[in-house]
């Protein structure tokens, strides 16, 4: 009922355009920075350090550079894209009016978005790791070999557009209710921030969901050379498993499980 009254208030006081563009942008910025900033604080204060995947820390200057660039990219790239794509979403049937869709419809659509996003992202990410594209585009994202939550969206503008297509493709072809789009956005932001957070906690989702990648899976991708990194998926791990691009990571996990930390370290440094 609370979501019903909240949506009723919003559609009464704001237009579809304001909600879909400015509302979505405000929601994204709020969730992204509220979820990502704590990990900068953890790193600076040494809080929860026993759960940190890498022992290295980023400098204050590197963290500040990330935040500054993110604000530039968000206002200079993300917001214009949201505005420009609004007619496409409207033409495909997106609406903000009542009644709200059922939870069955919302959950089915979001599950579809996760699956299609992961498929498109995997192949797009692999392409970005080819020599020319990595050097001129994707290397920006890999400036941070020790990632923290906010680095999840730190990327070249061309990459923001390229991989952002994976995120908006599902909603664009299904024309969901705005509340479904917002929920998808929140979940996707939380997932990518967690994957880049640099910490693996006992309560991390990857400990409970077998196909979920999480921070440890993606952190491996950041600390290896681009030609040997693997682990290209965004949310799940099955695409890497099917195409054998997680072999190095799986071998490292076996070595760590057997207590052979020295050989595991050598694999990471190759």
Q: Which long-range contacts (CB under 8 A, 24 or more apart) does 57-63 make?
A: 57/146, 58/144, 58/146, 58/148, 62/144, 63/148, 63/150
pLDDT of residue 263: 44
User: Is it the case that residue 4 has pLDDT exceeding 70?
Assistant: no
In degrees, rounded to 5, the angle at the alpha carbon of residue 164 between the alpha carbons of residues 231 and 117 is: 55
Closest C-alpha among 138, 148, 201, 200 to residue 33 = 148
Radius of gyration of the CA atoms of the chain, in A: 19
pLDDT band at 270 (very low <50, low <70, confident <90, very high): very low
pLDDT of residue 34: 98
State pLDDT tens for residues 113-169.
999 999 999 999 999 999 999 999 999 999 999 999 999 999 999 999 999 999 999
Output the CA torsion sign for 69, 27, 102, 86: negative
pTM value?
0.91
């Amino acid at each position: 009922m609370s979501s019903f009254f909240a949506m009723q208030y919003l559609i009464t006081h704001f237009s579809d355009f304001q909600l879909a563009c400015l509302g979505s942008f405000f929601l994204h910025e709020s969730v992204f920075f509220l979820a990502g900033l704590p990990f900068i604080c953890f790193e600076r204060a040494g809080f929860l350090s026993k759960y940190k995947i890498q022992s290295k820390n980023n400098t204050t200057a590197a963290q500040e550079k990330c935040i500054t660039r993110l604000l530039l990219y968000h206002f200079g790239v993300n917001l214009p894209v949201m505005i420009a794509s609004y007619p496409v979403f409207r033409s495909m049937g997106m609406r903000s009016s009542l009644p709200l869709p059922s939870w069955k419809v919302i959950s089915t659509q979001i599950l579809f978005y996760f699956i299609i996003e992961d498929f498109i992202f995997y192949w797009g990410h692999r392409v970005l790791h080819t020599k020319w594209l990595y050097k001129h585009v994707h290397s920006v994202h890999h400036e941070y070999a020790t990632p923290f939550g906010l680095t999840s969206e730190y990327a070249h503008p061309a990459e923001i557009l390229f991989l952002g297509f994976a995120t908006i493709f599902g909603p664009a072809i299904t024309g969901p209710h705005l509340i479904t789009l917002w929920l998808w956005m929140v979940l996707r932001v939380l997932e990518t921030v967690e994957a880049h957070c640099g910490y693996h906690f006992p309560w991390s989702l990857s400990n409970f969901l077998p196909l979920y990648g999480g921070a440890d899976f993606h952190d491996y991708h950041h600390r290896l050379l681009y030609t040997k990194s693997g682990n290209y998926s965004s949310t799940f791990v099955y695409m890497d498993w099917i195409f054998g691009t997680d072999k190095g990571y799986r071998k490292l996990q076996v070595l760590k499980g057997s207590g052979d930390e020295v050989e595991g370290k050598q694999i990471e440094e190759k």
